[in-house]
Amino acid sequence: MTESVQVTGAAAADRGGVAVRLEGLRRRFGAVQALDGLDLDLAPGELVALLGPSGCGKTTALRVLAGLEDTDEGRVLVGGRDITTLPANRRDMGMVFQAYSLFPHLTAQENVEFGLRLRRRQAGDRRRRAAEMLELVGIGKHAGRYPHQLSGGQQQRVALARALAIEPQVLLLDEPLSALDAKVRVQLRDEIRRIQVEVGITTLFVTHDQEEALAVADRVGVMRDGRLEQLGPPSEVYLRPATPFVADFVGLSNRLPGRVVNGAVEVLGARLPLIDPLAAPTGEVTALVRPEAVDVVVDPDGPGRILAASFLGSMSRATVAMPGDVLVVAQVASARLGELTPGTAVRVALHEVPTPLA
Amino acid sequence: MAGLTLGQAPTRRGRPSARRARRQRLFRWVVVAVLAVFFLLPLFAMLEFTTRGAGGKLSFDTWKLLFNWGQLSQTYPDLSAGITASAGLVVLTVALMLVLLVPTVIWVRLRLPGLRRVVEFICLLPLTIPAIVLVVGLAPVYAWVTYFLGGSSLTLTFAYTILVLPYAYRAVDAGLSAIDVRTLAEAARSLGAGWGTVMWRVVLPNIRSAVLSAAFLTVALVLGEFTLASLLNRSNVQVAINLLGKSSATMSVAVSLAALVLAFVLLLLLSLVGRGRRRAQEETS
Amino acid sequence: MSATVRHPAEPAPDPAATAPGGRSRPGRARLSRSQLGHARSLVGVVPFVAFVTVFLAIPTIVVAVGAFTGDDGRPTLSNLSALANGYIIDAFTRSILLSATTAVIGAILGALLAYALVTAKEGGLLRRIVTAAAGVLAQFGGVTLAFAFLATIGWSGFVTVFLREHLGIDLYSHGVWLFDLPGLVLVYTYFQVPLMVIVFLPALDGIRPQWREATESLGGSTWQYWRRVAGPLLAPAFLGSTLLLFANAFSAYATAAALVSQGSPIVSLQIRSALTSEVVLGQQNLGKAMALGMVVVVAVVMALYALLQRRTAKWLG
């Protein structure tokens, strides 16, 4: 593993997960290049989240690792062993699908036992292990239920238990939360992380939800057009997006007109440092500024006017119209909504954080 | 598409999904080819049989006669009478089905949801009562029908409407399930529509293709019906074909083939209607 | 269309549409407003119910009652005991044998074809053509089908002649079997296979690719997938479809009637002869007893089918 790989999960090395390496993967479906030379390393026990819009190749990458999809080029190595041509059923990987992957004719318990049954484990052994797994995912009391008697979140818990029961080398999570309600999603997301750390298994997690990726992963890889745009710890990806695409994808950004002068960008009267000063062009540019990096100050002489303010919970969002048809979205505390009624004159102040350009 | 990419990709032996795809393709074509022979052979045989001329030559005399109505009704009056009766039965049965079943099913959905299971049960009942059984029970009923309306073959309409109930019901019911009848009706009523307007102007236009499939199925069924017509001593095209089979096998085979092709075209149209609608929905979504 | 149900002079019977405190007189009406509305709504189904009563309920009752009525109009069980007659037992046996055979053959071939279709590209041409054709051929029974096979393997049929003249094979060296049970098996298969395709295809479509992939990722082989996942999941649907095919063949009459002109080997043909010559036997209602027997068999089979169908809907719906 290279030095830059930081494993923040406490479990990391001590449980001794296995290293995974994807090397120069290419895969074409008709006219679509789903994977275009993807390289990715997972340290033992690490959870890497692949993030990206639909069609970016993240699911294909996961399915290639699982052996459910062929590659046109490239290699898959697990624990240093080349398994590129190994069929899926001999790869020893636990997989959790988006939804509906439980066998409907088996109870939760029987679903979890399934992989062990295929491995011809003793009945008693099997039952014990399955019960243990169901307990681990917090669903022990529903062991006798059939999938259609379980909620979506419970089904995914069973699916996780089933994947883990066979003590796989690698855990693959293919958008396991995307079919669930927002609340259940957050709950289960945190639990997946807890279990993954507890078991210490190398995990690839595919999602299109940036919040989810940032919340659970040791490292996040943002994908676009079959390649990684950026790979790094969540804080790095969030605070220092390597490309405008990443900046855009990892959080709602304002696109504001600015000028590059002396290695910094001037936006709405503020001078902001650049993320990558060397690569920046000079002159007129578009800077990407996060809503939480914008302060709104009520000022009767301010150039801006509140256009709209929307309540989103503890934080709210205000849209400010600035001269020259520039709209700025700012994140504000909901307590301030009273003073930020539409039409109020304001000025905006931008935080001096490293800023990417579009 | 899959085939192309497989061909171009560097073929690596042992790639499991590619191997399975190849195996499935082989299996698919073997099964389809074998069954295609079994199913197409009789159709081809019918064509061959009806174009068999004297001395092993091709002859289209039978077909020319079949499509020459004047001559046909002279040569085979029973056949032309059967065809006429069937045509009339088709029209009447479709009409009766539309008038009787469609409003009832909509009405029950709208106002009497508690009766839905009952109506469904009634409509599907004829599936468990074979036509040959129904005819046993219908015989006394038709004695009265003959008493009131005469012995015309067109009176078969009543029995045929019973026969098509399960098929027509399922088609209409599927159409109604695909739309949110309740919300549509409530929306229309809140805009001031009476129940009649709701049914006629709101619900019916939304299940047009379902009603159309019910009608197509009815046509296909009526054209192929033999049991009731023959045992209630009435005539239709199937009875006529059967009768004709004893004297002119060639002509009866020709009419059979023509009826089959007609049904084929009808049901093909039906599947096109269904798909056209689906495609329109996909495009708008 | 709605003339029977609309009363323009009266307020809308729907409680939701009635203004609160309008013209309701709570003290007088025994029925609540909603009950009254319900009663009025019932008027809408009167034509349908009347029609179904005359042409479906009465015939059914005629059969059911007739089966227990003697020639003298008195209730009796003699019709039913007459069912134990050798020739009727034989007819039922042959009917069941014929139906079971064609159901099993049709189910196996139809399931194979249906599976071949789901392995093809979804919405592809092959699948569209075959399902459309199956829709037509499943309905293709009766006289037309009989004549199709006469033209194919009848005495001067295309295949018969071809084999005789070109290959020297005589299809009928062991007798003319087309007009007997073996012939019926062949001809019935022609509509059973397409019917199987139609009823079994939805179940196959309900099999999710995730199940195969989950099995694979858990270490299962193709054989294990079929034995432990797809097989058990499809079994109820397959069995149910086979039962439906059985009922379909058992109820069939027209094909056999057109093909078999001598004797009455199966029940539906026995009923024909009872209908057309009932006086001869002096047992007017024997036909009704046989008809009742048929209904019982079909009803039992269909009930089982519905049961299995419910299981399928839960798993594969």
Q: Choose, out of B136, B216, B251, B273, the residue to mutate when testing the contact with C (most C CBs < 10 Å).
A: B136
The alpha carbon of residue A157 is apart from the nearest alpha carbon of chain B, in Å, by 28
Residues A104-145 have pLDDT tens digits of 989 999 999 999 999 889 999 999 999 999 999 999 899 999
Across chain C, what does the average pLDDT equal?
Answer: 81
* Contact with chain B for residue A30, Cβ under 8 A: yes
* Contact with chain B for residue A70, Cβ under 8 A: yes
pLDDT confidence of B9, banded at 50, 70, 90? very low
Q: Is the pLDDT of residue A44 over 50?
A: yes
Architecture of domain A20-242 in CATH? 3-Layer(aba) Sandwich (3.40)
On whether ipTM exceeds 0.85, the answer is: no
For the ranges C14-23, C176-185, C187-196, which has the lowest average pLDDT? C14-23
- Which part of chain A has CATH 3.40.50.300? 20-242
* Contact with chain C for residue B117, Cβ under 8 A: no
Q: Is the pLDDT of residue C13 over 60?
A: no
DSSP E strand stretches across A233-303: 254-261, 264-267, 270-273, 283-289, 294-298
C23 and C120, same domain (yes or no): no
* Contact with chain B for residue C111, Cβ under 8 A: no
Q: Is the pLDDT of residue B2 over 70?
A: no
By Cβ distance, the residue of B35, B136, B137 closest to C109 is B35
Mean pLDDT of C15-30: 44
pLDDT confidence of C132, banded at 50, 70, 90? confident
Amino acid type, C174: H
For the ranges A185-199, A303-317, B55-69, B244-258, which has the lowest average pLDDT? B55-69
* Contact with chain C for residue B279, Cβ under 8 A: no
By Cβ distance, the residue of C148, C158, C254 closest to B256 is C148
- Which part of chain A has CATH 2.40.50.140? 252-350
C23 and C133, same domain (yes or no): no
* Chain B hits for C115, Cβ within 8 Å: 31
> B119-124: which pairs have CB atoms within 8 A and are 24 or more residues apart?
B119/B169, B119/C45, B119/C48, B120/B169, B120/B173, B122/B165, B122/C52, B122/C56, B123/B165, B123/B166, B123/B168, B123/B169, B123/B170, B124/B165, B124/B166, B124/B169, B124/B170
Residues A11-22 have pLDDT tens digits of 344 456 899 999
By Cβ distance, the residue of C136, C159, C276 closest to B41 is C159
pLDDT, greater one: C169 or A190: A190
- Contact call for A101 and C208, based on CB within 8 A: yes
Residue identified by tokens 């900046």 is: A247
pLDDT, greater one: C278 or A184: A184
Closest CA to C314 of C238, C239, C237: C237
The alpha carbon of residue C276 is apart from the nearest alpha carbon of chain B, in Å, by 8
* Contact with chain A for residue C218, Cβ under 8 A: yes
* Contact with chain A for residue C203, Cβ under 8 A: no
> The CATH number of the domain where C99 resides is what?
1.10.3720.10
- Contact call for B253 and C148, based on CB within 8 A: yes
Residues B121-161 have pLDDT tens digits of 999 888 888 888 998 889 889 988 888 888 888 999 999 99
Residues C205-260 have pLDDT tens digits of 888 889 999 999 999 998 999 999 999 999 999 999 999 999 999 998 888 888 88
User: What b/e readout covers A294-304, taking b as 16+ CB neighbours within 10 angstroms?
Assistant: bebeeeeebbb
Q: Is the pLDDT of residue A10 over 70?
A: no
Predicted pLDDT at C98: 94
Predicted pLDDT at C1: 36
Mean pLDDT of B27-55: 88
**Which residue is closest to C213 within chain B, CA to CA?**
B17
C251 and C309, same domain (yes or no): yes
Q: Does residue C6 belong to any structural domain of this protein?
A: no
Predicted pLDDT at C9: 39
pLDDT confidence of C5, banded at 50, 70, 90? very low
pLDDT confidence of A270, banded at 50, 70, 90? confident
Residues B207-237 have pLDDT tens digits of 888 888 888 888 888 888 899 998 888 898 8
Q: How far apart (Å, rounded) are the C-alpha atoms in residues C218 and B131?
A: 51
* Chain A hits for C310, Cβ within 8 Å: none
Order of strands, sheet of A270-273, starting from the edge strand that comes earlier in the sequence = A270-273, A264-267, A254-261, A283-289
Q: Is A307 exposed, middle or buried (0-12, 13-18, 19+ CB in 10 A)?
A: middle
Q: Is the pLDDT of residue C121 over 80?
A: no
Q: Does residue C75 belong to any structural domain of this protein?
A: no
Which of C39, C66, C93 marks a domain boundary? Answer: C66
- Contact call for B1 and A30, based on CB within 8 A: yes
**3-state SS class at A54:** coil
Which of C23, C38, C66 marks a domain boundary? Answer: C66
Domain boundaries, chain B: 79-284
C199 and C236, same domain (yes or no): yes
What's the CATH number of domain A252-350, 2.40.50.140, 1.10.40.30, 1.10.10.60, 3.10.20.30? 2.40.50.140
Q: How many domains does chain C have?
A: 2
What's the CATH number of domain B79-284, 2.60.40.180, 1.10.3720.10, 3.40.50.2300, 3.30.70.380? 1.10.3720.10
Give residue C144's domain range. Answer: 85-316
| Helix residue ranges, H only, B198-248 | 204-206, 208-224, 227-231, 237-245
User: Residues C211, C228: contact at Cβ < 8 Å?
Assistant: no
- Contact call for A66 and C213, based on CB within 8 A: yes
By Cβ distance, the residue of C60, C130, C253 closest to B227 is C253
Closest CA to B185 of B122, B98, B117, B112: B112
Q: Which pair of structure tokens corresponds to residue C106?
A: 């049709």
